[in-house]
């Protein structure tokens, strides 16, 4: 219940603060009502944080309790273990994303122009960041290390990635700097699937997301091949 109720309450609060307070002073962004404009950003904000949290805690706790050795001695391939952990984390994140989408529809009219693209970006982002969380869960040696990257790196990048604004609204210098933020491409591509409005090309967004996915997949493969933080 906590996993389902929390995003509903959080989404409602975002609409109260951003939709009412700021939306009354900023009617439209790229031809889209501000309340509806922030919906993809809200979903991505939750997807990124939940995927990393689910993926990292899922593999860290077996390491912490020592049950990881049962997994390593089981007659299963490493890819099967990764599919299980990452698949579970990504599934929960996707469900939460859909819950937030349904909650948002209660506050603003939400239009999805390209449902298949929306589902593709949702699945790809959830899977990619669940893999990233899996990496963090293997790397971390304490609960503090488990939280440091999501709190100090991912959350700031998400808020600065155009979740609640278009980077086209920024001065040219800051817009150029924002393009170095990988989260911009995730949010931009996802928003395009809703309103056909994006800060960067949808092809570039998809390519960047796929690139990060394959990087994470390669790192996980190396970790299992070398036994990094798995056997000690």
Tokens of 70: 């049962």
Determine the Cα–Cα distance for residues 38 and 169; give it in Å rounded to an integer: 14
Tokens of 220: 């996980």
Query: 0.75 exceeded by the pTM?
Result: yes
Structural contact between residues 205 and 220, judged by C-beta atoms closer than 8 angstroms: no
H or E segment and range at residue 229: none
3-state DSSP of 16-36: HHHHHHHCCCCCEECCEEHHH
Helix axes 182-195, 115-139, angle to 10 degrees: 160
pLDDT by residue, tens only, the chain of 232 residues: 767 777 778 777 877 776 666 656 666 777 788 888 888 988 998 898 889 989 999 889 988 888 888 887 888 888 888 899 999 999 999 999 998 888 888 888 888 999 999 999 999 999 999 999 999 999 988 888 888 888 888 888 888 888 888 888 888 888 888 888 888 999 999 999 999 888 888 899 999 999 999 999 999 888 888 888 776 5
Domain boundaries, the chain: 2-226
- Cβ neighbors of 130 (< 8 A, separation 6 or more) are 51, 52, 54, 55, 85, 86, 89, 90, 93
Tell me the C-alpha to C-alpha distance, in Å, between residue 51 and each of 95, 144, 176: 11, 18, 28
């Amino acid at each position: 219940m906590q996993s389902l109720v929390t995003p509903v309450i959080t989404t409602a609060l975002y609409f109260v603060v951003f939709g009412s307070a700021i939306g009354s002073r900023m009617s439209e962004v790229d031809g889209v009502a501000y309340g509806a404009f922030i919906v993809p950003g809200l979903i991505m904000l939750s997807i990124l944080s939940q995927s990393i949290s689910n993926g990292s805690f899922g593999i860290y706790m077996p390491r912490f309790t020592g049950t990881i050795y049962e997994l390593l001695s089981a007659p299963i391939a490493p890819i099967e273990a990764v599919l299980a952990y990452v698949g579970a984390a990504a599934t929960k994140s996707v469900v939460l994303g859909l819950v937030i989408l349904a909650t948002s529809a209660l506050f603003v009219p939400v239009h999805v122009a390209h449902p298949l693209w929306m589902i593709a970006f949702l699945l790809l982002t959830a899977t990619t960041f669940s893999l990233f969380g899996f990496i963090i869960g293997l790397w971390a040696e304490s609960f503090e290390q488990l939280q440091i990257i999501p709190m100090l790196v991912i959350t700031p990048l998400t808020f600065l990635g155009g979740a609640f604004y278009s980077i086209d609204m920024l001065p040219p210098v800051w817009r150029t700097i924002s393009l170095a933020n990988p989260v911009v491409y995730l949010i931009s591509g996802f928003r395009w699937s809703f309103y056909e409005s994006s800060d960067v090309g949808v092809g570039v967004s998809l390519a960047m997301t796929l690139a990060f996915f394959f990087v994470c997949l390669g790192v996980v493969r190396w970790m299992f091949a070398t036994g990094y933080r798995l056997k000690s």
